[in-house]
Structure 1
Amino acid sequence: MISTSDVEQAATRIGGRVRRTPVFTDDGVWFKLEQLQHTGSFKARGAFNRIIAAGELSAAGVVTASGGNAGLAVAYAAREFGVAARVYVPVNAPAVKVAKLRELGAAAELVGEKYADAYDAAVKDAADRGALFCHAYDQPEICAGQGTAGLELLEQTGGLDTILVAVGGGGLLAGIAAAVEGRARVVGVEPRTAPTLNAALAAGEPVPVEVSGVAADSLGASRLGDIAFAVATRTGAGSVLVDDAAIVEARAALWDRYRLALEPGGATAFAALLSGAYRPAPGERVAVLLCGANTDPATLTSPTAAPPAARTPR
């Protein structure tokens, strides 16, 4: 469980280490460009907070399991502190992410076809060698670090009613919901093919789900984290599901309208608005957190060739 104060402490701890990513507004909706964070996703926030909070590390350094983005963040933070990093990823992790891990100096270990396989191997390795284990989404320091983006967003917009965030394991949702508790509501958006939050809320506890679809490389956790479930239920976070086709369309629209290159998972929150899965009430102040840019640019499409809409950068 984490609270607003935990997120505030994380913001102080990682100040100067992460970017204060910009926002812009278009057609009454705010967009937070967290894909411009170090390593191309919000994950750097949690990685820095986890490593700094741990204090002195052993020579074994840090270990994590990740479909890509969490591993990139941990590798980057470890490099900044001059410590070793070992990252376990499924064998089907995108090649662009694996290559980047190695470019950052991390040892990339490909194990199994699912995140759970890589996770088990990473936990064992960390225990065997005495390394610091950095969970991709279910540790207090990780979640609190991710939530610092929410504090920024409230400051940058002057206040919101609703924040739409993509959900995989739920670390981002947990952090943002804790950060803005009592000031805004968070709605989790996830692929219909990987409904961890939706299934957990329906069951009254986190439960395993089958995972597939276009965003599985970044939103492919097979179970919602315990911290995310606790924070979601405490804060009344909502849940909406979107089809893969809506995610693909949202990704293309972000490129067409704003020339923003997002991976499918990074565009998932916007898919809720574009598809009508989430319909804001009149006058509702809504923000979308765009969260990941680690994608192959060759896969971007521009079917409508719409010109970029007017926007106000912050």
Structure 2
Amino acid sequence: MVDRDAVESAARRIGGHVRRTPSVEVAPGLWFKLELLQHSGSFKARGAFNRILAAREQGELPAAGVVAASGGNAGLAVAFAAARLGIPAEVFVPLVAPAVKVRKLRQLGAVVHQHGREYAEAYAASTIRVAETGALFVHAYDQPEIVAGQGTLALELPDVDTVLVATGGGGLVGGVAAAVGDRMRVVAVEPAGAPTLHAALAAGHPVDVAVDSVAADSLGARLAGTIGFAAAVHHQVQSMLVDDDAIVRARRMLWAEHRIVVELGAAAAFAALEQLERDGRRTGRERVAVVLCGANTDPADLTAETVQDLSQGV
């Protein structure tokens, strides 16, 4: 299992390659961790750099470069890291991947393969390509170096009681739990239509789930990673589900009230805060950090939606 030592080792390895993103106190006792400002637009750059650099240190980085499968963000991170390190990259994404992400992948110099309707299908195609080329496979969320790298953002958090983390396959929440789970409450927030970790915790092991959510492009893994799952169990990570309407509303609110543009997956963590406060489950003195983990989205709809909401008194 990934532990804090692995996260601290990752932080030393990637320190010259990633940004230390700010945590901003937006209200008394409430911080936003602005990981959307990370290279490639999401936290995924941390894990990608750690995986590739660790392989290079160990003499295991082949001339064929790297291959990744992704709903978008992991692929962007791998493409960015590969470009910075001067190695080839191929990225497999589902056909439903947002055009803004596919376009950016190509701009970063990656060879893009669009395959299948879900991440699982793109993943299957990527493993065939790895077998053909001998390239290094960079998993979206279920490799020790990936989980440890993602967890480095938690080392930059202020002293809070609770961390809200949007969760798909579990790489980020597993890394955060490994880094700070012994002294902070870590809450994994998932769409109700993609309850991947929630179902795994209920079953006692990762199980395949159906995925149907507006945030599926970034939180659409059908099976929780074994590494993130183990960390979540060990550190007693709490699971929380939010519905699509709440996610959409949270994204609009982040723009309307804070002028922060995030993708729908990142908005899930903020939607959970709203739900906790509405249900009275956040105590008055509880210090909370909301990880805003990515902004690879088309913001064109936000201003029109916000104007419409304001006109309707929302």
Render the CA deviation track for 1:220-250: whole Å, top value 9, x for unaligned: 0001111111000000000010010000010
Render the CA deviation track for 1:153-204: whole Å, top value 9, x for unaligned: 1xxx2x1111000010010001100010312121000000000111111111
Aligned 1:97-246 pairs, distance under 5 A: 97-153=101-157, 157=158, 159-246=159-246
Secondary structure of the residue aligned to 1:93 is: coil
Deviation at residue 58 of structure 1 after TM alignment = 1.7
Aligned to 1:310: none
Deviation at residue 26 of structure 1 after TM alignment = 2.2
Paired with 1:101 and 1:90, the residues of 2 have a C-alpha distance of 13
Q: TM-score, normalised by structure 2?
A: 0.94
Paired with 2:196 and 2:53, the residues of 1 have a C-alpha distance of 29
Secondary structure of the residue aligned to 1:202 is: helix
Aligned to 1:30: 31
Secondary structure of the residue aligned to 1:302 is: helix
Aligned to 1:86: 90
Aligned to 2:261: 261
Secondary structure of the residue aligned to 1:262 is: coil
Q: Which amino acid aligns with 2:115?
A: V
Aligned to 1:293: 295
1:46 aligns with 2:47: yes
Deviation at residue 206 of structure 1 after TM alignment = 0.6
1:281 aligns with 2:283: yes
Deviation at residue 305 of structure 1 after TM alignment = 5.3
Paired with 2:213 and 2:236, the residues of 1 have a C-alpha distance of 27
Paired with 1:176 and 1:190, the residues of 2 have a C-alpha distance of 15
Paired with 1:298 and 1:275, the residues of 2 have a C-alpha distance of 27
Deviation at residue 273 of structure 1 after TM alignment = 1.0
Decide whether the 8 Å contact of 1:4 with 1:181 is kept in 2: no
Decide whether the 8 Å contact of 1:43 with 1:73 is kept in 2: yes
Aligned to 2:76: 72
2:306 pairs, out of 277, 302, 305, with: 302
Deviation at residue 215 of structure 1 after TM alignment = 0.1
Structure 2: runs of 5 or more not aligned: none
Q: Which amino acid aligns with 1:165?
A: V
Paired with 1:120 and 1:148, the residues of 2 have a C-alpha distance of 29
Deviation at residue 281 of structure 1 after TM alignment = 2.0
Deviation at residue 74 of structure 1 after TM alignment = 0.1
Render the CA deviation track for 1:86-122: whole Å, top value 9, x for unaligned: 0000011001100000000000000111111110111
Decide whether the 8 Å contact of 1:256 with 1:305 is kept in 2: no
Q: Which amino acid aligns with 1:131?
A: A
Q: TM-score, normalised by structure 1?
A: 0.94
Render the CA deviation track for 1:3-35: whole Å, top value 9, x for unaligned: 000000000000110001111112321110000
Paired with 1:68 and 1:8, the residues of 2 have a C-alpha distance of 27
| Percent identity (aligned) | 62
